[in-house]
Amino acid sequence: MTGRLTIVGLGPADEQLLTPQTRAAIAEADVAFLRTSRHPAASVLGAVPSFDEIYERADTFDAVYQEIAERLIEATSTGDVLYAVPGSPLVLERTVELLRAAAADGLVAIDILPAMSFLDTAWAALRIDPVEAGVRLVDGHRFAVAAAGQTGPLLVAHCHAAHVLSDIKLAVEEPPESVVVLQRLGLGSEAVFEVAWSDLDRDVDADHLTSIYIPEMAAPVAAEFARFDELVRVLREQCPWDQEQTHASLRRHLLEETHETIEALDARAALSDDELDADLDAHLAEELGDLLYQIFFHARLGAERGSFTVADVARGCHDKLVFRHPHVFPPKGGDPVDAEDAAAVLRTWEQLKAQEKSRDSAMDGIPPSLPSLMLALKIQKRAASAGFDWDGGPEVAYADVESELAEVRDDPSEHEVGDLLFAAVQVARRLDHDPESALRGAAQRFARRFRVVEAAADDKGIDLSCADEAELTSLWAAAKRVAG
């Protein structure tokens, strides 16, 4: 250990707020470094190197701070070094935390000079006593974790970009109506203004001197969702498999997780809603989590190219659901909407959806890639919501099946078979059954019965490929009795 590392703070604004002690240390230093040159008082050091280039090439802030600390420790091997950071060295300064830990391990000798932090200018701008008000300081990058369980007031620093503000919004379940934005405190361009919570990441032109003050939090932060989003971000940055993924490559995994979730739902659906089965419920929760990961992953890809974040996904879905449920959330200035039953809700839903998406036809917007049974059901429901449906209940559907079956006997083409299957879907719709679930259940019952047939045939020494019709009928009837 050759030299000492002296750490000074440049204060919250320009050089007018530098302490005399810091000025003297800067004047005496032969070797000096800036954490970043993007600070109003950085020019007081003259032409000294900064670590801005690390920010440009490093993948994570943690990697940035770690490399800065390592390079400073290496620099002290040849003599004394001065290191200047924005604000105060002891307020939300991760590099100083790492250097203090290194000093405790005997890797470097450090001196830390006190400095004015942005907190002093913030309290003055807000006109509050932070001790009396019980304000907690939170890093915007770690808001979800650091603010978990807090109900405010909170001063959130490091809000330097729209995506940070978006993540903060996502983490709050019941946000306040508005917050105070603090920018460039102590400078001629200082700005202190109130902004609606919903517009936080839209109306604030965030920079590296931006903070927000939350006077009161109605409910604790949704830490688990924000922690989950942070996990997705870390995996994307550090896991080789995650780094290779695209929207296209994830398509297969989304389908797989969806089918596994449906399988878990089918198993749970075999029980009544109030019947408890810890294993089935735990399995369903696990599969829902896997599906949630896919959603967060796609949102992360959107965030990387600056298109949308998971907060935008949640906000968009929230606003859409409010708009499409006018019987629950009456439009401002409008009359309440009645919905006497679920069918009325669906009709209103489709009408508002068509209005929202400016559709010319009820058939617009139906994904052609849907499984065929779901596609047929969707088309029939859309037509019915537009008023194209016959009275008569299931009897109409039965007659349609009989008519289509007669046409298949006359013309056993794929076209006519398709019409027969489409008519069968109408039967399910009229009886308020999901044709996909109905057919899946029938297929599973057949498979279950066929296993019994195979076992019985083996016991009796019957070769199924050579069995006559009477034997097959007997085996199948027995299997139905055994397997249900």
Residue range 37-46, pLDDT digits in tens:
988 899 999 9
Q: What is the mean pLDDT of the chain?
A: 86
* Amino acid at site 220: P
Amino acid 471: pLDDT: 86
| Arithmetic mean of pLDDT, 189-204 | 89
In Å, what is the CA distance from 415 to each residue of 9, 371, 403? 79, 18, 14
Structure-block tokens of residue 100:
């203090």
Distance between CA atoms of 365 and 376, rounded to whole angstroms? 14
- Considering only CA atoms, which of 200, 103, 109, 218 is closest in space to residue 154? 218
Residues with Cβ within 8 Å of residue 336, at least 6 apart in sequence = 326, 327, 330
Per-residue pLDDT tens digits for 432-446:
888 888 888 888 888
- In tens, the pLDDT along 416-431 reads 998 999 999 998 888 8
Do 81 and 5 form a contact (C-beta atoms < 8 A)?
yes
Cα separation, 240 vs 256, in Å, equals 21
Are 10 and 114 within 8 A, CB to CB? no
pLDDT (average), residues 149-175 = 83
Q: Where are the beta strands (DSSP E) in 197-301?
A: 210-214
What is the pLDDT, as a whole number, of residue 55?
84
Tokens 């409010």 label which residue?
322
* Single-letter residue type at 156: V
Q: Quick: pLDDT tens for 374-428.
A: 888 888 888 887 778 877 778 888 888 899 999 999 999 999 998 999 999 998 8
What percentage of residues in the chain have a pLDDT greater than 70? Answer: 96
- Pairing relation of β-strands 32-34 and 81-85? parallel
Mean pLDDT of 6-30: 92
Q: How confident is the model at residue 118 (pLDDT cuts 50, 70, 90)?
A: confident
**Rounded CA gap, 484 and 480, in Å?**
5
pLDDT score of 354 more than 70:
no
Start-to-end C-alpha separation, the chain? 81
What was the pLDDT predicted at 286? 94
What is the value of pTM for the model shown?
A: 0.47
Confidence of residue 334 (pLDDT cuts 50, 70, 90): low
- pLDDT of 380: 86
| Domains assigned to the chain | 4-116 (3.40.1010.10), 120-224 (3.30.950.10), 245-323 (1.10.287.1080), 436-483 (no CATH)
